[in-house]
Amino acid sequence: MSAEIKVPTLGESVTSATVSRWLKQPGDAVSTDEAVVELETDKVSVEVAAPESGVLGAHAVDEGGEVEVGSLLTTVEGSSGAKPTGQAAPAQAPAEPAPAPAAAQKPAREAANPSGGVNPPPRTSGPVSRPATPPADVAGHAPLPSAAKLMTERSVRSGDVGEGTGKDGRITKGDVLAFLERPAAPAAKTAPAPAAARADDPREERVKMTRLRKTIAGRLKDAQNTAAILTTFNEVDMSAAMAMRAEYREAFEKKHNGARLGFMSIFVRACIAGLREFPAVNAEIAGDDVIYRNFVHMGIAVGGANGLVVPVLRDADQMGFAAIERGIASFGKRARDGQLKLDELTGGTFSITNGGIYGSLMSTPILNPPQSAILGMHKIQDRPIAVAGQVVIRPMMYLALSYDHRIVDGKEAVSFLVRVKEGVEDPRRLLLEI
């Protein structure tokens, strides 16, 4: 008996995936629930496990191949055929050779005139690219002498002018003048010539772009092409937040079963307060409509094994500091392990990204469509600032808010960022909701 291993349901609106890596080879012994293949979707990587113990059958799809939900990946044969440890896997059947490429199509003119003759130039509705002298009448529209003279001077074909208004359809001088006054038809755009293949240097390594990276690239480019992205900046004094964290860190961890008090929960709560006051920052453009939300699904950018992902804290506006910290810690761990679920990466209404953990001092974050704004946090750095007329050294952080100017006005964006600054610089405001 054998059991089939098929592509599982990958989440809402996800219908296909790429086989990124086979973890087991044909003939390998596998155990129940042991991962045998890794699939890559537009959002995350998913491991598919064996439904029962046995010996893995032939791969139905090679690495890099595209698979649909429900399609066959491989099979697991009965455990009686399991090979002993160290036994070489049976050789796979060689892949069938790819079909020869289709012959190049003949040029359009050659196809239109298979006899090999030269086709006449295309007709045009304007005085563009006309021959030096009008050819013989091709449609029976003989021009009057005055019209013929003007047509010769202006390189106009009788066939371009068409039937005249004179007796028996003859072309008059007025017909030619009317034709010359018509707007010229726009020249057809020709496709650019394909770029010559790039010759790789022997010291270079060419690696195929992953499905996730291609999706990220496409989405970010779409954001640039669609939204009117603008960024506003401010800076925040982290002294109060750092003092609160130092004073209550141990008590917080003890009270909330190991949840660690970090700065991210403070920023999340500060953003939620700002989003309540300026709902356009939490809204979305849908066609000709604007969708305003009375909830906050907060996207938190975290680094994963396959790049940056943005899992979503749903109903973050209903969470306290401890719940936010636990959620973020869980996202970070599962992102590193590649265990995030697809539904955890969709539905965000606003996002926060922290380039400071990598040492970034300043950046302009890009929107995560269809969201209308994203907050960028940065490195905390001691800098001299003026306080009450005195120059003092304070731990400062630059903040950046990128927003879609189509829906968020500059005043709203700047005011929102000021509210975030006020909440972080005095966390008591967040507790008192002022």
Per residue in 26-39, pLDDT (tens digit) is 999 999 889 899 88
Q: What is the DSSP string of 376-391?
A: EE---EEEEEEETTEE
Cα(334)–Cα(341) distance, rounded to whole angstroms?
A: 9
Per the residue annotation, which of 175, 222, 409, 426 is the catalytic one? Answer: 409
Is 50 exceeded by the pLDDT of residue 129? no
For residue 103, what pLDDT is reported? 41
Is 50 exceeded by the pLDDT of residue 426? yes
Higher pLDDT, 61 or 305: 61
Which of 177, 120, 122, 166 lies closest to 142, judged by CA?
166
Residue ranges covered by each domain of the chain: 2-81, 213-432
Classify residue 269 as left (phi > 0), alpha (psi -120 to 50) or beta: alpha
Which of helix, strand or coil describes residue 114? coil
For residue 185, what pLDDT is reported? 60
Q: What is the DSSP string of 125-185?
A: SSSSS--SS--S-SSS-PBPHHHHHHHHHHT--HHHH-S-SSGGGPBPHHHHHHHHHSPPP
For residue 78, what pLDDT is reported? 76
**Mean pLDDT for the stretch of residues 301-327:** 90
Cα(24)–Cα(18) distance, rounded to whole angstroms?
A: 16
Is 70 exceeded by the pLDDT of residue 230? yes
Cα(432)–Cα(226) distance, rounded to whole angstroms?
A: 39
Label residue 200 exposed, middle or buried (CB < 10 Å: 0-12, 13-18, 19+). exposed
Q: What are phi and psi of 381, to 5 degrees?
A: -140, 135
Q: Taking all residues of the chain, what is their mean pLDDT, rounded to a whole number?
A: 82
The pairing of strands 16-22 and 66-68 is antiparallel
Distance of CA 327 to the CA centre of its chain: 25
Cα(365)–Cα(347) distance, rounded to whole angstroms?
A: 19
Taken as a whole, the chain contains a residue count of 434
Label residue 278 exposed, middle or buried (CB < 10 Å: 0-12, 13-18, 19+). buried
Higher pLDDT, 40 or 28: 28
Q: What percent of the chain has pLDDT over 70?
A: 81
Q: For residue 378, give the amino acid letter.
A: H
Higher pLDDT, 85 or 308: 308
Q: What are phi and psi of 279, to 5 degrees?
A: -65, -20
Is 90 exceeded by the pLDDT of residue 240? yes
**Mean pLDDT for the stretch of residues 279-285:** 96
Give Cα separations from 182 to 129, 171, 311, 393 (angstroms).
Answer: 15, 16, 58, 73
Cα(424)–Cα(271) distance, rounded to whole angstroms?
A: 9
Confidence of residue 59 (pLDDT cuts 50, 70, 90): very high
Which of 201-210, 231-240, 250-259 comes out lowest in average pLDDT? 201-210
Higher pLDDT, 70 or 145: 70
For residue 125, what pLDDT is reported? 44
pTM higher than 0.85 = no
For residue 189, what pLDDT is reported? 62
2-81 shares its CATH topology with 213-432: no
Which of helix, strand or coil describes residue 258? coil
Which of 26-30, 163-167, 345-349, 376-380 comes out lowest in average pLDDT? 163-167
CATH code assigned to 2-81: 2.40.50.100
Active site annotation includes 405: yes
CATH code assigned to 213-432: 3.30.559.10
Active site annotation includes 378: no
Which of 113-127, 225-239, 320-334 comes out lowest in average pLDDT? 113-127
Which of 375, 407, 409, 419 lies closest to 283, judged by CA?
407
Per the residue annotation, which of 42, 141, 405, 426 is the catalytic one? Answer: 405
